[in-house]
Structures are given as structure tokens and as C-alpha cells.
Chain A
Amino acid sequence: MLNVTNISKKYGKKSILSSISLSVQKGEIIGLVGENGAGKSTLLHILATIQKPTDGVISLNDMSYDKNKKVIRKQIGFVPQDIAIWDEFTVEENMIFFEKLSWRKKSKIELKQLCLDMELDKWKEPTKTLSGGMKRKLNLAISLIHDPELLLLDEPTVGIDLKSRKEIGTYLKNQAINEKKSIVYTSHDMDEIISLCDRVICIGEDPFYKSILIDSGKEVISF
């Protein structure tokens, strides 16, 4: 489904990523780990078409990123690390706002169901009064409005309670198994990565992450 071949990213002379190659199949969850500054978010931004790689080729469903950016974006759901919602709106208003601008039309019932599927039941609540976990769920729900095939999540559970973390994890697992969505996921929580991901990509030179992952028995690809 997603094929990445030899991509690298440089900012001036500084190399952030070099010769990264990977592939993600339908229904697969890939974990992306590494120390801070290793380039996880940069890689995710490149996969999300937000940034361009300096070198390399990426394709989604055999469509090149270079020539089909608009079509590819319709198939990507990107969950940014910063919570990207309207604080002054309710959950309902946030969902409706982004649905109106989305490629795919959804009824209010469908939007509400999307929230309920991830245990976000405070439909009429102003988002500024929501807990961190609920805000993260809304952040995820908005990215799913247009039914993307590929989900790219940049630390979607950072700073939230264990219950919400588990609920988000369960939801993502269901999306991969039942809806055959492909998921690429960055996190510092190794327990979460081990329990959720089919394969793990380890970026950076710090051996710490690799050592934990080898013990877990997961397939690990290092760059």
C-alpha cells in the first residue's frame, strides 16, 4: 500500500533522515520510535505530504507522491501532535466544522457515532472543558471524518490518562483489523508500541529503544 524508497531529508547541510525505506500493508500498524530529534515527526510529515523529502520516492497505492499529491491527501488521515481543534467550539461544532470542509460528506448521526466509537460521548460539551484524553480523541476523530485509508499519528496519546490511552489503542486496533486501515504511529511509550504495533521502525542512533524492542520479540527495522 505505502512504499517508501530511500528517502532522506536535509535542512541546509544538516541531515535529519537518510536512506529510509519501508512499506506498510493494508491493516498493518507500524510503530515509529526513536529519541527526541531523531526525525520521527519529520518522517511522518513527509509521509503526510506536509513536507517534501530531499531525495527518494514515496507512493501510495502505486500513485507517486510527486504527481498525485491532491488525490493522495484524500486517502491520508493525519493526527498532529499538537491538538488541532477549535477550543471555543463544542465537540459537535468541531466535528461539523471540519466535516463541512472535508472531501467526504457525513451526517450528524455518523459524526456522533464516530465520536462514540472511541468513547467520546460529550457531544455538546465545549472542548475547553474536556479532559486531555477527550481532546486527544476529538483530535483523532476529526482526522477520520473523510475515511482515510492511511492513518498517520504523531504521538496521539501523549500526556493523557491510562484509560483514554487504552481506549484510543483499542479503537486503532479495531480500525486496522476490521476496516483494514494502515496506521503509522509515533510514540515514546514502549508498552503501547509493543502491544499495538505489528512492526516497529527505530530511527536514530540511541540503542535504548532497540534493546527494549528486541526483548519484546517484535520485528524491528532500524535506520
Chain B
Amino acid sequence: MINILQTRLIHWKKQIFTLLFWLLLPIVTTILVTNVTSAIQDDSKVPVGIVLEENTPLAKDLVTSIKQTPFIRVYETTEEDALLKIEQHELDSAFVIKAGYDEQVRKGSRNRLITSFQSDLSFAFTPVSEMIISYVQQDTGRSKAAFTVKNLSDNAGLSKQWTWEEVVAKSKEIEAKENLLHTTFTFADSGQENDGKGITIWKPWGLWAVFSILSTLLLFDWLIKENRSSLAPRFTFIRITFKNYMVINALFYTILLFIFDLIAAGAFFLFLEEPFNLHSIGVILSYRLMLNAGAFLLALCFKNVYLFYSVSFVITLLVAITSGAILPIDGIIQSYQWLEYLNPLATFLSNKISVIWLIIFSFIIGLWHVRKEKSHA
């Protein structure tokens, strides 16, 4: 085994740059694409100026709610600066939360709480102002409810006296529980829902999985290069059969690729805040075994390395499109459910351990291994 590893190291030393390129491609591409698309998404958000004339809890809560709204980039500024930036079209619109906002809301007053500014080029003013109004309505509604509850408990002479803050807190709690209108946006993954906060176009592990298919397939070209007929007679006169030589080398590639998979998990944890635990290591390992077994079998079918490269690109593209890793495919999956079972990426994206394809591939490799070689009778 050590001797075969030493022969593999000679090969790897010769192709160190190519090898590193394909090993690092899924990691680097995933981080780059995720960061670039996040930056683009950030730039495409509507710039809105918020001027806060008082620092009360209600006013701050309102600003926080606006900030958490997707597709809006909030700049806290002064009224003068906001007006200047609207004039220069750096801001789409601006909203001034007037001094006394907290007091007015607590009184149940809904007049002149916020002043808004827009320019002739403010394309998002209406939806943004409607959204802010809805937040203010929510606050004033809660406040009104709080006063009503308080009055009722005073009039009824109940022993338990509710404060304004307690009623508001309870109202928020009920609202969270009884969320009436809830929309979700999902990729074909763990069913993890994104309620709009921080929607990303690309799912990092989905991207990584797709690029891993490509890099693994292209790295397995060694099997075609080393399976050349001119070298075949040499393997009759060495200690192991050519089939065992290939299987053991595939094992070395699997170990090497799995090490880089763990590096990927670490990098995504650090740079993309993707969770990383023992279960995810198991899922990655099963995906890696399945992927390498598939790449091994595919490479065995080819004699021409360029044809193998072309087929590898096509397979990667097909798997990527049908997996939902890059484009949401809920509609397609609903119409053709068998696609989900067939796609080797589906289990990985569901955060489950890949078993079916691994068993199928291992079985075929086993058959290939026990089949007698005609040329080395």
C-alpha cells in the first residue's frame, strides 16, 4: 500500500498545480460566487435615508424593523444630509421619525409621526412608504390595544395590573405564534426556509456540490491516462493486478478529496457562516464516496480523455440544472418526482447520507473487479 502511495506521489508531484487547481476550485468558486452575488444583491437594494429625531425604544424598534426589510438599504443620517443625497439621487427617499414619536404612539395618535421626502426619480418611494406606514400602524395598533386592555383591567378591578410594556410584549409574542401570512423561498435543500431576511441567490453547499462533481470527474482523468494499452504489459509483471492498482489509487484520491472537503467545510464555516457538525461530516463523506465511485466508473468507460472531459461537463450541467442547487425547481420536481430520486445531488442537498447511488456504484465496481481480464489471461 505504501509503495503504491509512493508511486501516486510521483504522479501528484508532476501535476501539483493542476491537482491543486481542481482541488481548490469548488472551495474558492463557492466563496467567490457567494460573496460576489451578496455584494451585487447589496448594491441592488433600495437606498433609503432614515432621520431619527429621538432615541426612544419605539423609534429605535421602528428603525430596526425597516433595516430588517429585504431589498432596502438603510442609511441613518441627518435631515439636511438626507435632502442633499435625495437631490443627488444617492437616496431613493428619506423618512424623518419626528421628535415625540414614542409619546404620540403611546397616546394612540397617528398624525404627523413621520415626514417623508422623495425626488422625481424615486422609483421605490410608494412601496417603501407603505411598508413604513404598516410598521407605524402596527405600533399604534399595539399601543391602542395596550390602553384598551389596561382600561378594561382598571374598570373590572382585576388584581393583576398589566403595564403598557407587558401588553405590547404579549402582543408581539402572539403575533410571532399566529403568523397569518408567511411566505417562504426555498432551494432544493434541507427544507430550510428563508423568510426574506438575507435571501441569497446561491446556496453555498449546492454550489460546492456542483463544482465538486466537475472537479472530481476531471481529476479522475488519471484513470484514462494510466489505462493506456502501451503500459498494460508492464502491469502483468508487477506485484498487484492493474485493477487493484486502479482501485487502491482511487482510494488515495478519495482520501485526498475528502481532506479538501473538510477544508471546504471549515472555510464555509469561517467565511460564509455555514454550520459544521458531525452529521454534516457524515453527509459530506457519503457524498464524496458516491461521487468518486461514480467518477471511477465513468472514467472506466472512456479511452479518449477529451471525450471524457466533454461528457463530464455535460453531466455536471445536467445534474446542476435538475438538482435545484442553482435554480429553484419546485415546479419541475412536483411534475416529475422521479427526478428527485434520480439526481445524485438530491440526497446531499437534503442533508441526508447518500446510500442508494453509493450502493449501485459499489456493486458495479465489484462486478467490474471480479470480471476476468481478457488481455491478461
A residues near B64, Cβ cutoff 8 Å: none
A89 within 8 A of B: yes
B371 within 8 A of A: no
A52 within 8 A of B: yes
Query: Please, how many angstroms separate the alpha-carbon atoms of A80 and B236 in the complex?
Result: 11
Assuming the contacts A101-B240, A102-B238, asked whether A82 and B6 have C-beta atoms less than 8 A apart, the reply is no
Inter-subunit contact B14/A89 (CB<8 Å): yes
Query: Please, how many angstroms separate the alpha-carbon atoms of A116 and B15 in the complex?
Result: 28
Contact with A along B219-259 (1 / 0, CB 8 A): 00000000001110110111110000100000000000000
A residues near B236, Cβ cutoff 8 Å: 48-50, 73, 78
Assuming the contacts A51-B377, A80-B230, A82-B230, asked whether A97 and B7 have C-beta atoms less than 8 A apart, the reply is yes
B10 within 8 A of A: yes
B residues near A88, Cβ cutoff 8 Å: 14
A residues near B377, Cβ cutoff 8 Å: 50-52
B112 within 8 A of A: no
Within 8 A of A (CB), among B245-304: 245
Q: Which of B6, B231, B376 contacts A50 (CB 8 A)?
A: B376
Inter-subunit contact A84/B233 (CB<8 Å): yes
Inter-subunit contact B10/A101 (CB<8 Å): no
Main SS at interface, chain B:
helix
Within the complex, what minimum Cβ distance (angstroms) separates B326 from chain A? 36
* Interface size band for A: 20 to 34
A67 within 8 A of B: no
Inter-subunit contact B14/A102 (CB<8 Å): no
Inter-subunit contact A84/B239 (CB<8 Å): no
Contact with A along B7-26 (1 / 0, CB 8 A): 10010001000000000000
Q: Which of B4, B233, B375 contacts A101 (CB 8 A)?
A: B4
Inter-subunit contact B239/A103 (CB<8 Å): yes
Inter-subunit contact B10/A97 (CB<8 Å): yes
Assuming the contacts A50-B236, A73-B236, A98-B238, asked whether A89 and B10 have C-beta atoms less than 8 A apart, the reply is yes
A residues near B240, Cβ cutoff 8 Å: 101
Inter-subunit contact B10/A76 (CB<8 Å): no
A100 within 8 A of B: yes
A-B contact count (CB 8 A): 56
Within the complex, what minimum Cβ distance (angstroms) separates B28 from chain A? 26
B residues near A98, Cβ cutoff 8 Å: 234, 238
Query: Please, how many angstroms separate the alpha-carbon atoms of A217 and B230 in the complex?
Result: 37
Q: Which of A48, A80, A101 contacts B238 (CB 8 A)?
A: A101
A182 within 8 A of B: no
Within the complex, what minimum Cβ distance (angstroms) separates A147 from chain B? 12
B183 within 8 A of A: no
Query: Please, how many angstroms separate the alpha-carbon atoms of A83 and B231 in the complex?
Result: 8
Within the complex, what minimum Cβ distance (angstroms) separates B249 from chain A? 11
Within the complex, what minimum Cβ distance (angstroms) separates B251 from chain A? 16
Inter-subunit contact A101/B239 (CB<8 Å): yes
A142 within 8 A of B: yes
A143 within 8 A of B: yes
B236 nearest CB neighbor, chain A only = A50
Within 8 A of B (CB), among A50-97: 50-52, 73, 76-78, 80, 82-84, 88-89, 93, 96-97
B3 within 8 A of A: yes
Query: Please, how many angstroms separate the alpha-carbon atoms of A146 and B230 in the complex?
Result: 20
Contact with B along A95-125 (1 / 0, CB 8 A): 0111011110000000000000000000000
Query: Please, how many angstroms separate the alpha-carbon atoms of A77 and B234 in the complex?
Result: 9
Query: Please, how many angstroms separate the alpha-carbon atoms of A51 and B373 in the complex?
Result: 11
Inter-subunit contact B237/A73 (CB<8 Å): yes
Q: Which of B3, B10, B237 contacts A143 (CB 8 A)?
A: B237
Query: Please, how many angstroms separate the alpha-carbon atoms of A138 and B72 in the complex?
Result: 70
B residues near A82, Cβ cutoff 8 Å: 229-230
Query: Please, how many angstroms separate the alpha-carbon atoms of A197 and B178 in the complex?
Result: 98
B residues near A76, Cβ cutoff 8 Å: 237
Inter-subunit contact B3/A100 (CB<8 Å): yes
Q: Which of A50, A89, A93, A100 contacts B233 (CB 8 A)?
A: A50
27 sample A-B contacts, Cβ–Cβ < 8 Å, listed by A number: A48-B233, A48-B236, A50-B375, A50-B377, A52-B377, A78-B233, A80-B234, A82-B229, A84-B231, A84-B233, A84-B234, A89-B10, A93-B10, A96-B6, A97-B7, A98-B238, A100-B3, A100-B6, A100-B7, A101-B7, A101-B239, A101-B245, A102-B239, A103-B238, A103-B239, A142-B234, A146-B237
Give chain B's interface residues, CB within 8 Å of chain A.
3-4, 6-7, 10, 14, 229-231, 233-234, 236-240, 245, 375-377
Of all A-B residue pairs in the complex, the 5 with the closest CB atoms, nearest first, are A101-B238, A82-B230, A100-B3, A80-B233, A52-B377
Give chain A's interface residues, CB within 8 Å of chain B.
48-52, 73, 76-78, 80, 82-84, 88-89, 93, 96-98, 100-103, 142-143, 146
